[in-house]
Amino acid sequence: MEEKNRRLDEAALRRLLEREQTGPEALVLRLAWLEGLTREEIASLTWEQVSFLDDRLELPDRMIPLDGEVRSVLWKLHEAKEARGEPEEAHVLLSARERRPMRLESVSRLARLALDRGGLKDVRLLDLRYDWIIRCLDRMDWPEAARISGVEVATLQLRFSASAPARKTVKPPPAQVDEFKLWKVLQAERDTAAGLAMWLAWQLGVQAREMISLTWEDVDFEEDALRLPDRVVPLTSAVRRLLEEERRRRKPGEDNHVLLTEQSRKPLDLPRLSRLTRAALIRGGLERVTLRDLKRDDSRDTEDERVLQRVLERGFVSRGDVSELLGLSKTATYARLRRLTEMGKLVRVGGKYYLPGTVVPPEQHREAILEYLSQAGFAYRQDIVDLLHIQPKQCTLVLHRMVEEGALVQVGQKYFLPRHEARKVE
C-alpha cells in the first residue's frame, strides 16, 4: 500500500472536527475531508457554487453532494455574510482582516495548524482529499467516483487500486445523452471553443486528438468537408456556419489552429479541451457525459428522417404515432420531438407536430385570427381551421381561450371581434 494513499485515523479526525467547530480552520478541514476539495478549489470556492437548495457544490468540472455537517458550517457562514452585506459572488473563505480571498499558502497553514493541534502531525491537507476518495470507492464504482472527484477512471485505478476494495474493473457503458439538454448546451456554447468542439464531435464524429490538430487548411469550404489525415468528413450545414463564424472572428496573424484558448489565443491541448467541454456539459445538466460520448449516431439520424417522412405523408404526427413508429418510451419520444422542435424541424401545436411552413406557429395564432376578423368581420370555426392549418379540436381550444380572455365574442357558431359585435347589437 502506497504511503501517500494510506487510510487515515477516522476516529482521530472526528475528534479533531468536534473541537474545530468555528473559524476558517473548521471549514478548510471539512471541505478537504468530507467533500474532497483540493487546496485550489477551497481557496477559489464562491457562494455561487454552493447550492443549499440542491445540497451540492457546483464546481466548474463536477458537482459534489453536500455533506450535512459541511452544509451546517456553510449555512452559518452564509448567514454571517448576509448580515455583513457582502455580495453573493464573494468567496467563501476570506482573510479575517482584509476580507479578501484567502491565498493558497494561508489555506495550507490553517490546515497544518489545526492538524497539529489534533495530534495529526504526519497528515497533509492533500491526504484528507485522498482519504475522501478512498471512502468514496468503498461505496461506489470507479466511474461514479471519477465523476464526483474529477479524476479520470484510469488515474484513479492507477493511484488507488491498492487502497480501494477489490473489484473487477469493468469498462463503463457509453453515457446516455439527453438530446434536448445537449441541444441547449450546444446553443449556449456556440460562440466558444468548447461549443465548436462539441459540434464537431456530435455531428461529424471528430475525435478530440483530431480537433486539437485541426487547422484552417484542413477546412475545405468549397467542398463542404474536413480533410483529416486518414479520411474526408462532409460538413453539416450547422457545423459549416459555426466554422464560418469562427473564421470571421479571427484577427490577422492569429494562430492557424481552429481551436484556440480564449485569453492567450494558443492552440488547445487535450487536458484543456477536456476541462472546457466537461464544464460546459455539467452546466447544462449532463454531468455523466464526456466529449467522447458525443459521437454522431447514424441510427438517430435515420430515425429523425423516418419521423419527418411520416409527418410529410400524414400532415402531422402525435407523440403516440412516433412512439409506435420508433418503439420508444413516452419519455424518450417526448425528448426526441422536443429536440426536433428546438432544431426548427417541427412545429408543435398542442399535442400535434407539423412541418415548418405547413402550419401557423402557436405564438402567431392570436395575431393571425385577429387580422383575419378585422378584414372578414366574422368567421366560423372551419374558417379559422383553414387559416391556421390545424385540426378542428385544436382550433376549438384556441377560439375558446380567446373568448374567455375577451379577445373574441361568440354568437352561435360565429366569432367576432368585440367592437364588431357591439356595433351589430346597437
pLDDT, residue 145, reads 84
- Do 279 and 395 fall within a single domain? no
pLDDT, residue 199, reads 92
pLDDT, residue 89, reads 56
Cell numbers standing for residue 273: 479541451
- Do 286 and 322 fall within a single domain? no
pLDDT digits (tens, 9 = 90+) for 364-399: 899 999 999 988 889 999 999 889 888 888 899 999
- Do 150 and 16 fall within a single domain? yes
Of 160, 195, 216, which residue is a domain's last?
A: 160
- Do 269 and 327 fall within a single domain? no
pLDDT, residue 292, reads 79
Measured CA to CA, the distance from residue 362 to residue 389 in angstroms comes to 11
- Do 12 and 84 fall within a single domain? yes
Across the chain, which has 426 residues, the per-10-residue mean pLDDT values are 64 89 88 93 89 83 87 87 70 80 90 90 91 89 83 82 62 65 86 93 88 95 91 87 93 93 89 86 80 71 87 90 85 80 83 88 90 90 90 90 92 86 44
pLDDT, residue 426, reads 41
Asked if 78 contacts 47 with a C-beta cutoff of 8 angstroms, the reply is: yes
pLDDT, residue 422, reads 42
- Do 302 and 288 fall within a single domain? no
- Do 43 and 149 fall within a single domain? yes
- Do 139 and 183 fall within a single domain? no
- Do 271 and 326 fall within a single domain? no
pLDDT digits (tens, 9 = 90+) for 102-125: 889 999 999 999 999 989 988 999
Instruction: Provide the whole-model pTM.
Output: 0.50
In a domain, 134, yes or no: yes
pLDDT, residue 423, reads 46
In a domain, 99, yes or no: yes
Beta sheet of 219-220, edge-to-edge order: 219-220, 225-228, 231-234
Domains held by the chain: number? 4
How large is the greatest C-alpha to C-alpha distance in the chain, in angstroms? 96
pLDDT, residue 219, reads 95
Quick check: helix, strand or coil at residue 24?
helix
In a domain, 173, yes or no: no
In a domain, 166, yes or no: no
pLDDT, residue 1, reads 34
Asked if 344 contacts 353 with a C-beta cutoff of 8 angstroms, the reply is: no
Q: Amino acid identity, residue 184?
A: K
* Full residue range of the structural domain in which residue 188 is found: 179-293
pLDDT, residue 402, reads 94
Long-range CB pairs of 342-349 (<8 Å, 24+ gap) are: 342/180, 342/183, 342/184, 342/187, 343/183, 345/304, 345/308, 346/307, 346/308, 346/311, 349/388, 349/390, 349/394
- Do 23 and 133 fall within a single domain? yes
- Do 333 and 251 fall within a single domain? no
Task: Report the CATH number at residue 335.
Answer: 1.10.10.10
In a domain, 167, yes or no: no
Quick check: helix, strand or coil at residue 84?
helix
Task: Report the CATH number at residue 86.
Answer: 1.10.443.10
pLDDT digits (tens, 9 = 90+) for 152-205: 877 888 888 777 665 555 555 556 677 778 888 888 898 999 999 999 998 888
Provide DSSP, 182-228: HHHHHHHTTTSHHHHHHHHHHHH---HHHHHH-BGGGEETTTTEEEE
Asked if 163 contacts 7 with a C-beta cutoff of 8 angstroms, the reply is: yes
Asked if 193 contacts 260 with a C-beta cutoff of 8 angstroms, the reply is: yes
- Do 217 and 332 fall within a single domain? no
